[in-house]
């Protein structure tokens, strides 16, 4: 997935681990960079949507495909 700045494999991780790993992965990125995530926890769909909204990161894509949940998140550009 060379279209993204970083990738996170959260397959097999139960709630809340996918979101915790996403938070940690985003800390390594610069504002405006994108993170691709794949997870299998059904709760991750709502969890990642809520996480993006609360943290003001942009959820560019959220889809389910064959039991896997795919997300693309753009890290917010800090106003500091």
pLDDT tens, residue by residue, 7-49:
999 999 999 999 999 999 999 999 999 999 999 999 999 999 9
Q: Can you give the pLDDT at residue 78? A: 82
DSSP per-residue letters across 4-29: SSEEEEETTPPTTHHHHHHHHHHHTS
Within a 10 A sphere around the Cβ of 41, how many other Cβ atoms?
19
- The pLDDT of residue 79 is 63
Give the model's pLDDT for residue 1: 47
Domains of the chain: 6-74 (3.30.110.40)
CA distance linking residue 62 with residue 49, whole number of Å: 8
Catalytic residue, candidates 6, 13, 15, 38: 15
**What pLDDT, on a 0 to 100 scale, did the predictor assign at position 16?**
93
Q: Is 76 a catalytic residue?
A: no
């Amino acid at each position: 997935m060379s279209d993204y700045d970083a990738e996170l494999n959260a397959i097999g991780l139960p709630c809340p681990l996918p979101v915790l790993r996403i938070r940690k992965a985003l800390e390594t990125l610069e504002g405006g960079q994108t993170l691709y995530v794949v997870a299998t926890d059904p709760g991750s769909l709502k969890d990642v949507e809520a996480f993006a909204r609360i943290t003001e990161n942009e959820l560019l894509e959220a889809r389910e495909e064959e039991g896997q949940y795919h997300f693309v998140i753009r890290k917010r550009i800090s106003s500091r």
